[in-house]
Structure 1
Amino acid sequence: MKTQLLILTLLASAFASQIQAQDRTTINAKNFEISDNLDLRAVASIFGDSKNLQDFERKLNDPKLQISNLDLNNDDQVDYLRVIESVESRTHVIIIQSVLDRDLYQDVATIEVEKDRYNKVHIQVVGDVYMYGQNYIYEPVYYNTPLIYASFWLSSYRPYCSSWYWNYYPSYYYAWNPFPVFRYRYNIYNSLNSYNQYNYVNYRRSSHAVTMYSSRRSNAYERQHPDYSFSRRNSEVNNRYELDQTRNTRNLGYSQNRNNSSRVSNSSKADSQRIYAQNRLETPRVNAPQRTESQRDYSQNRSETPKVNASQRKESPRVSTPQKSESRVDNSQSRNSNSGNKSTSKNNNKRS
């Protein structure tokens, strides 16, 4: 009976732990922000540095650069991003897709390149509405004309389509584990080409590109998670840019609170230092007269003492010298008397 009760207790505890683990997973999924894991400015940066779309796809998935941190299928490996292209006349739509599984792809962003009638090239990097919200767009301004433009408007140009898919990847690629968001941001900050400009806009330049893309869009992840769109994840803002502004405002308020607290602490420290300095200044003022008076008394005592000693020294020789002279007179008189006595005695002896 005891054995059965022990087994039942162990089974109940294991079941409870499984339920708690499932709850943790659900909570983490709700708090996870997808758009934190692919910076469109980095996508625009490497696009301007690429020779062609094949080179661009290579840079997107280079394990050394680590431009992406997306793991949409939750296999603890960063998804491979493949590139396909649609071309009509002077308009190129380059689509970046996350490879989720066999024949399952989710669009994450598009690059729309169009040359106008004045032969001026316009480029926009557009985040997918499910991933980034409505009209999340960056317009890069390159300091040098990208080499990738050289072949875009040749008559012999053929649209690019990636030959890679699920479990079939190029030799240079290997999957890596996603990083924490703060580490990914630090990596992207160091990867951006600082000579370029990345201007945010909220409108599409090419209506033709919008029409071309609408028939080519892939949304496997969106279909699997229809309630996890950007508008559901962040109902108070329209797109990723507004979300960043909200975050910056919160961080600014936090930094201001920290600055105010530091100012209060610094002012209290300054006040305490002022009080301490005043106490130090006032204390010598009180003690200084005592020290001067004691020094004066001491100096007077020293000055009077030598005077007394000097007078004593001067008077003592005066007293002692007469005694010496008198003693010398007495000695001389005694000697004279003795000599007189001796002479009288000698004269008497002679007479006799």
Structure 2
Amino acid sequence: MKKIMTTFLVLLGITMGFAQETALTHSTGDNFSLEGALALLKKSNSLEEFEKLINDERNNVNNLDLNNDGIVDYITVDDIIESNTHVIVLSAYLDKNEKQDIATIGIEQTGDEVAILQIEGDTDLYPENTIVEPYETQEVLNAVKRGPAMSDLRTYEATVNVWFWPSIRLMYAPSYVAWVSPYRGSTYPKYWRSWKPYRHTVFYNRAAAHRVYCRPASVRRVAVARNIYLPKRKRSAIVVHTTLKTVFINAKAAKKINAKK
């Protein structure tokens, strides 16, 4: 009886641990903080600096190991420009030739010194229409008819004008040249130090601070950015798609599976 009870408790613990982990990791993209990417873009002076910050372990934005080599993937940053719209593409090389897009940041100038942006997770890693945007809280004093000279202070969330972010100002400067990451495949910058991925529960808590000033968006505000990006989208042949999750396997096996579809 004692042995049966011990076995039951062990199985229960394993099941609960698996359930807890599964509940938190609904998609592969949960190991990359979209909110964190926006936080780092806001503090960056250029896209070159932005790429460097994303690939710094201390900033708690990237925890992806898509090729299962035991180290977190290096994220490249590329800028696509068309008229007054920029599309910043965040990607990872799974091997020398296989590139997988992770997310895109669409930026559009909508007026004189006014710009908006949203970040959208790639559907290979995130659920469809996973869009995040920065927001700020504003307070408005509204008159209320509840007695003489009474007032009501209301708080609401407003879309952020990102024009005054240093990196955005630079991107719309007349002399700006689109940033394209010079790093490809297994070629990494000298400053980069690789690290092992954290358990998702640990990474989720480390990235919590980034979620304070961002919110999910139900509307794609920078729709033109999507149209510019889609013809240039990069998807790795190493990725196998299932109804439950995204799976990464070796390239030879993936090509056989994809050939049967």
| TM-score, length of structure 2 as denominator length | 0.70
Aligned partners of 1:108 and 1:131 also within 8 Å? yes
Contact kept in structure 2, 1:109 and 1:127, CA below 8 Å: yes
Could you tell me which of 140, 157, 167 is aligned with 1:148?
167
The structure whose residues are more often strand, as a share, is: 2
Residues 119 and 132 of structure 2 are in contact (CA less than 8 Å); yes or no, is this contact kept in structure 1? yes
SS in 2 for 1:115: strand
Q: State the match for 2:33 in structure 1.
A: 39
For the 8 Å contact 2:92–2:99, the answer to whether it is kept is: yes
Q: How does 1:124-135 map to 2 (within 5 A)?
A: 124-135=118-129
1:119 Cα deviation from its structure 2 partner: 4.0
One of 198, 211, 219 as aligned partner of 1:203? 219
Whole-Å separation in 2 of the counterparts to 1:167 and 1:207: 34
**Offset at residue 206 of structure 1 (A):** 2.4
What are the within-5 Å matches in structure 2 for residues 246-261 of structure 1?
Answer: none
Rounded Cα–Cα distance in structure 1 between residues aligned with 2:131 and 2:52: 23
- What displacement does 1:118 show? 4.8
Distance 1:207 1:183 in 2: 34
1:163 aligns with 2:177: no
Q: Deviations over 1:22-68 (max 9, x none)?
A: xxxxx9xxx77412201211111111111110000001101332421
Matched, 1:187 2:206: yes
Corresponding residue to 1:233 among 241, 244, 250:
244
Structure 2 unmatched ranges of 5 or more:
1-17, 137-159, 246-261
What's the CA shift string for 1:242-280, capped at 9, x where partnerless?
xxxxxxxxxxxxxxxxxxxxxxxxxxxxxxxxxxxxxxx
Partner deviation per Cα, 1:159-178 (whole Å, 9 max, x = no partner): 11000122211111121111
8 Å contact kept, 2:131–2:216? yes
Amino acid at match of 1:39: S
Structure 1 position 98 matched with structure 2 position 92: yes
TM superposition shift of 1:78: 0.5
Counterpart of 2:252 in structure 1 is none
**Higher RCO structure, 1 or 2 (CA under 8 Å, sep 6+):** 2
Q: Deviations over 1:286-321 (max 9, x none)?
A: xxxxxxxxxxxxxxxxxxxxxxxxxxxxxxxxxxxx
Partner deviation per Cα, 1:56-85 (whole Å, 9 max, x = no partner): 000110133242110110111111000011
Give deviations 1:84-139, integer Å, cap 9, x for gaps. 11001110000000121102110010001101145421110111112112111111
More helix per residue: 1 or 2? Answer: 1
Give the aligned partner of residue 65 of structure 2: 71
> Cα deviations across residues 187-239 of structure 1 (Å, max 9, x unaligned)?
1124x285xx212112212232111101211001xx333323xxx116xxxxx
AA aligned to 1:123 is L
Report the counterpart of residue 78 of structure 2 in structure 1: 84
Q: For structure 1, list consecutive stretches of 5 or more residues without a partner in the other structure.
A: 1-26, 235-352
Paired residue for 2:191? 172
**Root-mean-square deviation over aligned CA pairs:** 2.1
Matches within 5 A, 1:313-324: none
TM-score, normalised to structure 1's length? 0.53
Distance 1:216 1:182 in 2: 34
How many corresponding residue pairs? Answer: 197
Give the 3-state SS of the residue equivalent to 1:64 in structure 2: helix
Q: Which secondary structure does the structure 2 equivalent of 1:233 belong to? A: coil
Aligned partners of 1:62 and 1:172 also within 8 Å? no
Counterpart for residue 138 of structure 1: 132
Verify the 8 A CA contact 2:133 2:215 in the aligned structure 1: yes
State the partner residue of 2:255: none
For 1:208 and 1:189, locate their aligned partners in 2 and report how far apart those are by CA, in whole Å. Answer: 31
Report the Cα distance in structure 1 between the residues aligned to 2:91 and 2:99, rounded to whole angstroms: 6
Match of 2:234 among 218, 236, 239: 218
Distance (Å, rounded) in 1 between the aligned partners of 2:214 and 2:58? 23
Distance of 2:238 and 2:188 partners within structure 1: 24
Following superposition, the deviation at residue 152 of structure 1 comes to: 1.6
What does 1:10-25 align with in structure 2 at a 5 Å threshold?
Answer: none
**Which entry has the higher C-alpha Rg, 1 or 2?**
1
AA in 1 matched with 2:214: Y
* Aligned equivalents of 1:63, 1:117: Cα separation in 2: 36
